[in-house]
């Protein structure tokens, strides 16, 4: 701990918000709370992880690690150890196809209890071990040390979260009087719930560090496209404004709290969809998990092809822009017929933080044997055949999917990547980041 007590801190995550939309919204005053924060902080564009999909990204935000360390590979993946598919919620239809009850269990409980690596340390664990109180609202990566029982009567599955833990009414560590928010994304309801809980927490000054996660914007952006979701951004802005009000006003808010505001990934417009599995239709012993703009191929028992052989089958597929696979100690990347060995400390093609992100995605033990980054404008259909063609999507290594707005107020520097956020928060409180975070280097 620092000699002088550190200012309390809040991490605000607006899911799927792109830098250009953020920059435009704070420029013309359409988002008053965000504009106020932007005027008082340092801002830069930062980079997400890969696949640039919410469960992967939120795990990176919470642990300061890429998937090689935190082990969450995708929205949908194959659990080799338990020999079954895991579906965190590519779409409601995909959830139904994979089994609704089990998917909710996977997304809420198992991701934190079973899938998130024990080798990764969450920001909640690290800060509470140092004697601080952490709080989380609605973020799906919440692993902490405090046992919480669901609010649903008759359901006895505990979740281990931060001391103050609020998750879509299913877990509520304190009675806040917030309105009901069913798990799902009925328009506007989730951020409204977050705002009510956030107001309660700020009014009581009930934490040292709070993660305030707002998912509604991403949902709207998928439907209307990345530049068509301003109405949803107004709701996110109102949810941020609720925190400022609860502190007694914007100036008072910044007197009390250091703030990082960012998104988890970007979004790009998609015009068409593709079935990644079509190239593998006649190959026994393979399983494809794909959704949004990333896909993976798993070798199952009976598969006679090595990863390289599977990658060969995708050669010439216009939907598969970059194909990645491991071979011995190396990670190989192919794009447009060119094959390179991925150097985690060097750029890869023209992707932001490309080498580090591609390497970490393939070196995740839960990833497929082949990992695919989609071509611009294309989305891979999910388990139920659903996609967002005509709207927005994300998941690839491409800049538009991968760049996030990053605003820091009361921190020494602006995090360059979402994996730098947790270490920045830990250092803010005088807590040493885990060794994997200290070792991370970043190529330009
Ligand atoms: Zn999304």
Q: What are the residue ranges spanned by the domains of the chain?
A: 8-269+398-439, 273-390
How does residue 336 score in pLDDT terms, banded at 50, 70 and 90?
Answer: very high
Provide the sign of the torsion angle of the four alpha carbons 395, 397, 401, 405, taken in this order. positive
Expressed in angstroms and rounded, the spacing between residue 439 Cα and the centre of ligand 1 is: 29
pTM for the model stands at 0.94
| 186: pLDDT strictly greater than 60 | no
The answer to whether 137 touches 213, Cβ cutoff 8 Å, is: yes
| 41: pLDDT strictly greater than 90 | yes
| 401: pLDDT strictly greater than 70 | yes
Please tell me the predicted confidence (pLDDT) of residue 438. 75
Neighbour tally for 33: CB within 10 Å: 22
Expressed in angstroms and rounded, the spacing between residue 218 Cα and the centre of ligand 1 is: 5
Residues comprising the chain, all counted: 444
How far is the C-alpha of 362 from the C-alpha of 345, rounded, in Å?
A: 15
Average pLDDT over residues 281-310: 94
How far is the C-alpha of 320 from the C-alpha of 306, rounded, in Å?
A: 18
Expressed in angstroms and rounded, the spacing between residue 155 Cα and the centre of ligand 1 is: 29
Tokens at residue 243, please?
């925190």
The answer to whether 333 touches 321, Cβ cutoff 8 Å, is: no
How far is the C-alpha of 307 from the C-alpha of 371, rounded, in Å?
A: 10
CATH code linked to domain 8-269+398-439: 3.40.720.10
| 130: pLDDT strictly greater than 70 | yes
Expressed in angstroms and rounded, the spacing between residue 432 Cα and the centre of ligand 1 is: 32
Please tell me the predicted confidence (pLDDT) of residue 226. 83
- Residue 25 has φ and ψ, to the nearest 5°, of -70, -35
Expressed in angstroms and rounded, the spacing between residue 59 Cα and the centre of ligand 1 is: 15
How does residue 227 score in pLDDT terms, banded at 50, 70 and 90?
Answer: confident
Q: For the purposes of burial, counting CB atoms within 10 Å of the CB of 316, is it exposed (0-12), middle (13-18) or buried (19 or more)?
A: exposed
Query: Which of 56-65, 70-79, 102-111, 396-405 has the weakest average pLDDT?
Result: 102-111
Average pLDDT over residues 83-106: 70
| 57: pLDDT strictly greater than 50 | yes
Average pLDDT over residues 165-181: 82
Q: For the purposes of burial, counting CB atoms within 10 Å of the CB of 20, is it exposed (0-12), middle (13-18) or buried (19 or more)?
A: middle
| 251: pLDDT strictly greater than 90 | yes
Average pLDDT over residues 332-344: 96
Average pLDDT over residues 291-309: 96
How far is the C-alpha of 402 from the C-alpha of 432, rounded, in Å?
A: 27
Least Cα distance to 372 among 306, 286, 291 occurs for 291
Expressed in angstroms and rounded, the spacing between residue 94 Cα and the centre of ligand 1 is: 14
Please tell me the predicted confidence (pLDDT) of residue 96. 59
Expressed in angstroms and rounded, the spacing between residue 245 Cα and the centre of ligand 1 is: 29
| Angle made by CA atoms 243, 246, 251, in degrees to the nearest 5 | 80
- Residue 219 has φ and ψ, to the nearest 5°, of -60, -45
Per the listing, tokens 């798993």 go with 298
DSSP-derived letter for residue 348 is B
3-state secondary structure of 273: strand
How does residue 184 score in pLDDT terms, banded at 50, 70 and 90?
Answer: very low
What confidence tens digit (pLDDT) does each residue in 1-35 have? 444 578 999 999 999 999 999 999 998 878 999 99
| 167: pLDDT strictly greater than 50 | yes
Expressed in angstroms and rounded, the spacing between residue 16 Cα and the centre of ligand 1 is: 6
| 443: pLDDT strictly greater than 60 | no
Q: For the purposes of burial, counting CB atoms within 10 Å of the CB of 227, is it exposed (0-12), middle (13-18) or buried (19 or more)?
A: middle
What Cα–Cα distance (Å) separates residue 17 from each residue in 214, 251, 295, 333?
A: 10, 25, 22, 28
Expressed in angstroms and rounded, the spacing between residue 53 Cα and the centre of ligand 1 is: 6
Expressed in angstroms and rounded, the spacing between residue 91 Cα and the centre of ligand 1 is: 10
What confidence tens digit (pLDDT) does each residue in 348-397 have? 999 999 999 999 999 999 999 999 999 999 999 877 777 888 899 999 99
Expressed in angstroms and rounded, the spacing between residue 379 Cα and the centre of ligand 1 is: 12
Please tell me the predicted confidence (pLDDT) of residue 169. 78
Least Cα distance to 197 among 243, 129, 232 occurs for 243
Mean pLDDT across the chain, nearest whole number? Answer: 91
The answer to whether 88 touches 395, Cβ cutoff 8 Å, is: no
What Cα–Cα distance (Å) separates residue 7 from each residue in 36, 170, 200, 223, 254?
A: 19, 30, 19, 39, 10
Torsion angle defined by CA atoms of residues 427, 162, 35 and 251, in that order, rounded to the nearest 10 degrees: -80
Please tell me the predicted confidence (pLDDT) of residue 440. 64
């Amino acid at each position: 701990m620092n000699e002088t007590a550190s200012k309390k801190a809040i991490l605000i995550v607006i899911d799927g918000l792109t830098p250009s939309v953020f920059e435009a919204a704070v420029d013309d005053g359409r988002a008053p709370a965000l504009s106020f924060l932007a005027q008082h902080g340092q801002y830069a564009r930062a980079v997400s992880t890969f696949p640039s999909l919410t469960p992967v990204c939120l795990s990176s935000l919470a642990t300061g690690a890429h998937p090689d360390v935190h082990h969450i590979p995708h929205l949908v993946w194959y659990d080799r150890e338990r020999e079954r598919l895991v579906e965190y919620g590519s779409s409601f239809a995909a959830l139904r196809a994979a089994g609704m009850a089990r998917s909710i269990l996977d997304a809420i409980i198992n991701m934190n209890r079973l899938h998130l690596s024990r080798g990764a340390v969450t920001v909640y664990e690290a800060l509470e071990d140092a004697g601080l109180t952490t709080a989380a609202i609605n973020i799906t990566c919440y692993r902490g040390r405090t046992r919480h029982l669901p609010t649903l009567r008759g359901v006895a599955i505990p979740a281990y979260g931060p001391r103050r833990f609020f998750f879509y009414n299913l877990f509520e560590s304190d009675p806040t009087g917030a309105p009901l928010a069913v798990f799902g994304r009925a328009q506007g309801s989730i951020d409204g719930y977050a705002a009510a809980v956030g107001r309660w927490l700020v009014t009581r000054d009930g934490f040292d560090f709070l993660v305030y996660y707002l998912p509604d914007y991403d949902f709207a952006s998928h439907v209307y496209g990345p530049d068509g979701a301003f109405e949803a951004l107004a709701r996110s802005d109102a949810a941020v404004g609720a925190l400022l009000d609860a502190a007694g006003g914007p100036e008072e808010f910044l007197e009390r709290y250091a703030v990082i505001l960012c998104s988890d990934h970007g979004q790009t417009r998609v015009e068409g969809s593709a079935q990644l599995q079509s190239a593998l239709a006649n190959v026994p012993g393979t399983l494809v998990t794909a959704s949004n703009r990333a896909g993976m191929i798993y070798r199952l028992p009976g598969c006679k092809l090595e990863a390289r052989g599977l990658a060969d089958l995708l050669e010439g597929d216009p939907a598969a822009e970059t194909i990645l696979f491991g071979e011995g100690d190396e990670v190989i990347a192919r794009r447009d017929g060119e094959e390179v060995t991925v150097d985690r400390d060097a750029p890869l093609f023209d992707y932001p933080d490309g080498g580090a992100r591609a390497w970490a995605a393939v070196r995740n033990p839960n990833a497929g044997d082949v990992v695919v980054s989609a071509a611009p404008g294309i989305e891979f259909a999910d388990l139920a055949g659903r996609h967002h063609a005509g709207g927005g999507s994300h998941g690839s290594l491409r800049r538009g999917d991968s760049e996030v707005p990053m605003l820091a107020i009361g921190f020494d520097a602006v995090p360059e990547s979402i994996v730098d956020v947790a270490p920045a928060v830990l250092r803010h409180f005088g807590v040493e980041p885990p060794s994997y975070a200290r070792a991370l280097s970043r190529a330009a």
